[in-house]
Copies of this chain bind each other. A is one copy, B any other.
């Protein structure tokens, strides 16, 4: 009999990490869920909101020794929904931006499981908000190009990313999973014609207490150290204000240190 009451799968964006940046809908769905299947990158602050009676499954492909395949995740969602359960498939950021959403919805559709997609604040947009900058600016930046530092399509695994196509002075480049090879990235960006003084800001774990950001320029981007995921590298003239603020803050920190030295004499 249980098989006849099919449940539903909600593919929900968890946002960048701060529980306050969940949508009202995501928050309510978490409270109503029978099971939550979540990625590794969903923040511990959000996981801790889930009620004790709700089953929590980490299906993060990085966690533990056993590698969970996409097919296994699809199979779990389908099996749980067929048991009549309300399943929240919780993804860091927004499900439609580098979230492997299409593969999961294809599987759900093939199995005739009802599903809904609930958008979330994607990491790039959260990074911009935390820096208090706009990704577009009527005065300098008319477009936003969202790309991943890792090959995202199967085709790109053979080809390299065509930075030349992506890079324009009037674009803000938002690089998800920028990786660790910033020397290579610098070469690509400069070869693609980006001026070496264009600002670049690396933001890690935006919106959480662990957030860090590092302001630099395209010409110095190779000096960046790798940071904890989720990380976003923002590049473009629209970042200028963030870097100006950052240098003022660093200067004032340096002055504070100087005062401290004087006082301790």
A134 at the interface (CB under 8 A from B): yes
A139 at the interface (CB under 8 A from B): yes
Q: Which of B15, B101, B134 contacts A96 (CB 8 A)?
A: B134
* Binary contact readout A17-53 vs B (1 if CB under 8 angstroms, 0 otherwise): 0111111110110000000000000000000000000
A118 at the interface (CB under 8 A from B): yes
A139-160 residues at the B interface, CB under 8 angstroms: 139-148, 151-156
Q: Cα distance A98–B192 when bound, in Å? A: 26
Q: Are B134 and A241 in contact (CB under 8 A)?
A: no
List the B residue with the shortest CB-CB distance to A162.
Answer: B168
Q: Cα distance A231–B137 when bound, in Å? A: 20
A7 at the interface (CB under 8 A from B): no
Chain A residues at the B interface, C-beta cutoff of 8 Å:
13, 15, 18-25, 27-28, 94-103, 105-106, 109, 115-122, 125-126, 128-130, 132-148, 151-156, 161-162, 165-166, 168, 170, 238, 241
Query: 29 A-B residue contacts at CB 8 Å?
Result: A13-B129, A15-B23, A18-B25, A20-B24, A20-B28, A21-B25, A22-B24, A23-B24, A24-B27, A95-B129, A96-B135, A97-B136, A102-B139, A102-B238, A102-B241, A105-B241, A109-B241, A115-B132, A116-B132, A117-B129, A119-B128, A135-B146, A139-B154, A142-B148, A142-B153, A142-B156, A143-B145, A143-B147, A145-B146
